[in-house]
């Protein structure tokens, strides 16, 4: 399994939306360098291992 994928590929794999990604980023739920990183060329990459780990540890909020 790939560790890092470009953001658009992450959307395809996860079914997550652009709004959901940027909401997690803006709220600090996902951290730069952990769940995602933006390369020098401006491309955003998502760490699938870190996202899976985050999802497994997340608590459901009703």
> Over the stretch 1-53, which tens digit does the pLDDT of each residue have?
789 999 999 999 999 999 999 999 999 999 999 999 999 999 999 999 999 99
**Residue 62 binned pLDDT confidence (cut-offs 50, 70, 90):** low
Q: Which two tokens stand for residue 41?
A: 């060329």
Q: 17 lies in which domain range?
A: 4-57
Q: Which two tokens stand for residue 60?
A: 């459901």
pLDDT at res. 38 = 97
pTM higher than 0.85: yes
Domain total of the chain: 1
Please report whether residue 25 resides in a domain: yes
**Residue 59 binned pLDDT confidence (cut-offs 50, 70, 90):** confident
Which of 34, 7, 9 is CA-nearest to residue 21? 7
């Amino acid at each position: 399994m790939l560790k890092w994928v470009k953001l658009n590929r992450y959307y395809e794999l996860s079914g997550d939306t652009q709004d959901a990604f940027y909401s997690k980023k803006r709220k600090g739920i996902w951290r730069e360098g952990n769940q995602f990183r933006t390369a020098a060329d401006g491309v955003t990459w998502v760490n699938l291992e870190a996202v899976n780990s985050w999802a497994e540890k997340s608590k459901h909020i009703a």
